[in-house]
Amino acid sequence: MADTADVIIIGAGLIGLSIAYHVASKGISHVVVIEKESLWGHGSSGRSAGGVRLEFSHPSAVKFSQYGLEMFRHFDDLFGISASFNPCGYLFLTRDPGQWKVMQDLSLMQQSLGVPVKCLAPQEVFYRFPYVKIPDLVGATFCPEDGVADPGAVLYGFAKRARDLGVTIRLGEQVTGIMAHHDQIMGVTTTKGVITGPVVVNAAGPYASTIGQMAGVEIPVRPYRRSIYITTPFMDLPPMMPMTLDLETTSYLRREGDSVLLGMSDPDEPSSYHTETDHQVLEKLIDTLLRWVPALNHAAILRGWAGLYEVSPDDSAIIGEVPGLSGFYCANGFSGHGFMHSPAAGRVIAELIAGEEPFVDIRPFLLARFTENQPTWETFVI
CA dist., res. 309 & res. 12, Å (int):
16
Burial class (CB within 10 angstroms; exposed 0-12, middle 13-18, buried 19+) of 273: exposed
Which has the closest alpha carbon to 263: 9, 51, 95?
51
Nearest to 359 by CA among 73, 60, 97, 149: 60
Give me the half-sphere count of Cα atoms (radius 13 Å) on the Cβ side of residue 309: 25
Q: Select 88-146+223-311's CATH number: 3.30.9.10, 1.10.287.3510, 2.40.40.20, 1.10.357.20.
A: 3.30.9.10
Q: Average pLDDT for residues 44-64, to the nearest whole number? A: 95
Domain 3-50+151-220+314-371 is in which class?
Answer: alpha beta
Given this model, what pLDDT does residue 38 score? 82
pLDDT exceeding 90 applies to what percent of the chain?
93
Average pLDDT of the residues in 155-165: 96
For 212-270, the pLDDT digits (tens) are 999 999 999 999 999 999 999 999 999 999 999 999 999 999 999 999 999 998 888 99
Nearest to 83 by CA among 33, 18, 23, 158: 158
Phi first, then psi, for residue 336 (nearest 5°) are 95, 0
Query: What pTM did the predictor assign?
Result: 0.97
Instruction: With a cut of 80, say whether residue 2 has pLDDT above it.
Output: no
Total residues belonging to the chain = 382
**pLDDT tens digits along 358-369:** 999 999 999 999
Q: Is 288 exposed, middle or buried (0-12, 13-18, 19+ CB in 10 A)?
A: middle
Residue-wise pLDDT tens digits, 63-89: 999 999 999 999 999 999 999 999 999
Non-local CB neighbours of 319 within 8 Å, separated by 6+ positions: 330, 331, 332, 345, 348, 349, 362, 365, 366
CB 253 within 8 A of CB 95: no
- Domain residue extents for the chain: 3-50+151-220+314-371, 88-146+223-311
Whole-number percent of the chain with pLDDT over 70: 99
Res 1 pLDDT > 70: no
Residue 309 CB contacts under 8 Å (≥ 6 apart), including other chains = 44, 206, 223, 224, 225, 226, 335, 336
Q: Is the pLDDT of residue 186 over 80?
A: yes
What pLDDT band is residue 40 in, cutting at 50, 70 and 90? Answer: confident
